[in-house]
Amino acid sequence: MNASSSTVIARPRRPAVPRSRTRLALAAIVVIAFALLPLGLKSYGTYLCSLFCVYLMATFGLNLTIGYAGQMSLGQAAFLGIGAYIAAIGMKAGLPFFAMLPLAALACFAIGLALGFPALRVQHHYLAFATLGFNVLVFLVLRNEEAITGGTFGIRGIPRPSLFGLSLERDLPYFWFTLASTLLLIALLGWLLRSPWGRAFAALRDNPIRAESLGVNITAYTLLAFAIGACCAGIAGAYFASLVGFIDPAPFNFTASLLMLLGVIVGGAGRFLGPVVGTVIIVLLPEWLRFMQNWYLAAFGVAVIALMVWLPGGLLSLPERLASRRIGALP
């Protein structure tokens, strides 16, 4: 078949992964502005910026699992907890942060790999419940195994690391350290998603049966989607432990997993920068709404419902939605 025989129709060009210098420059400006933001903030503001980075690591991982590979997960907070507790226990025992960080990442990678096995048999809401069950199980272990985890009393006095002899004890250096680490993780995930692995994840999400007929190892990629997502949360957990200095099981319960899922979906699942917008919504928006006092959580809920109704594809789908309206494809 000779394609030249087909009618030539001009169509808009839309590369799958658009990259341009303008976008990179814009991203650099945003990152620099964010890095300088805490200079004008009090301690709590700096803490929130660091917390934003921590959650960003976890939601970027979850976006890979859910948005790119199409595997439902309601267990991301459990991995955040596992990473946090591994780092906390190790550091309390005198081990350095930089020894505990890869350990937390590896442990979560391995457990994430194991959690991927149910995904080979069940999908969608069944998989959601399987991962939810895992989150509940981890929460109960953290709460009940007091000898190891401190139970509901938690673990106190978790130190912050130092880097090349430079103490990161103060809030501002720790924020910059966390921000740099988050950017590195995002860059790594960006590279991964632009590699053949990323295409295989997308194929797994779009049509696993067709993907398999092309030679994509569905089993391996399903397991890897969970493992890499979990690994990101484990890394985030280690940073979280050092950030707050005290951990108990509460931040790692099922509600936190739901919140992270919300972050991915509100931002735009399967869009590379979706977690950035989503994490702003789940971490920073509730703080900005505090001026509403008792009503702030209700306002947060209404804002999320409105977003989901008007932009089911997430906030980053807004330009496409507006463009579709312009050409009359949407009411």
Partner 1 sequence: MSERIIEFENVVAGYTPSLTILNGTTFDARKGEITLLIGPNGAGKSTVLKTLFGMLVPRTGDVRFEGRRVNGHSQRDLLALGMAYVPQGRNLFASLSVRHNLELGGIALPRHALAPRIDEVLARFPRIRERIDNQASTLSGGEQKQLEVGRALLLRPRVLLIDEPSIGLSPKLVQDVMALLRELADQGVTVLMVEQNVRTALKYADRALVLEMGRLALDRPAHALLGDPDLNRLFLGGHVDGRAVTSTTPAGGGSAV
259 φ, ψ (degrees, to nearest 5): -65, -40
- For the chain, the straight-line distance linking the first and the last C-alpha, in angstroms and rounded, comes to 39
Task: Pick the closer one to partner 1 by CB: 7 or 22.
Answer: 7
Tokens representing 181 are 């680490």
What is the Cα–Cα distance from 143 to 166, expressed in whole angstroms? 35
Among residues 256, 255, 273, which one has the least CA distance to residue 264? 273
Helix axes 254-267, 76-92, angle to 10 degrees: 120
Vertex 99 angle, CA 96 and 103, to 5°: 135
**CB of residue 191 vs partner 1: minimum separation in angstroms?**
15
Pick one of 13, 42, 121, 326: the residue that binds partner 1 (CB under 8 A): 13
10 contacts partner 1 (rule: CB under 8 A): no
Only one residue has tokens 């805490």, namely 38
Does residue 121 bind partner 1 (CB under 8 A)?
A: no
The window from 165-173, 213-221, 238-246, 289-297 that contacts partner 1 (CB under 8 A) reads: 213-221
Q: How far is CA 264 from CA 12, 58, 162, in A?
A: 28, 10, 32
Residue 157 contacts partner 1 per CB under 8 A: no
Q: How many residues does the structure list for the chain? A: 331
Could you write out the DSSP letters of every residue in 6-31?
SPP-------SS---HHHHHHHHHHH
Residues of this chain, 242-271, that bind partner 1 according to CB under 8 A? 270
Q: Give yes or no for residue 327 binding partner 1 (CB under 8 A).
A: no
Q: Which two tokens stand for residue 212?
A: 């398999």
Residue 12 contacts partner 1 per CB under 8 A:
yes
Minimum Å gap between C-beta 313 and partner 1 is 12
Q: Is 324 in the site for partner 1 (CB under 8 A)?
A: no
Q: Which stretch binds partner 1 (CB under 8 A): 20-28, 113-121, 133-141, 215-223?
A: 215-223
If the CB atoms of residues 107 and 216 are measured against partner 1, the closer one turns out to be: 216
Residue 221 CB, nearest approach to partner 1 (Å)? 10
Query: Does 5 contact partner 1 by CB under 8 A?
Result: yes
Q: Which residue lies nearer to partner 1 by CB, 160 or 205?
A: 205
Binding of residue 211 to partner 1 (CB under 8 A) = yes
Catalog residues that contact partner 1 under the rule CB under 8 A.
Answer: 1-6, 9, 11-17, 196, 199-200, 202-203, 206-207, 209-217, 270
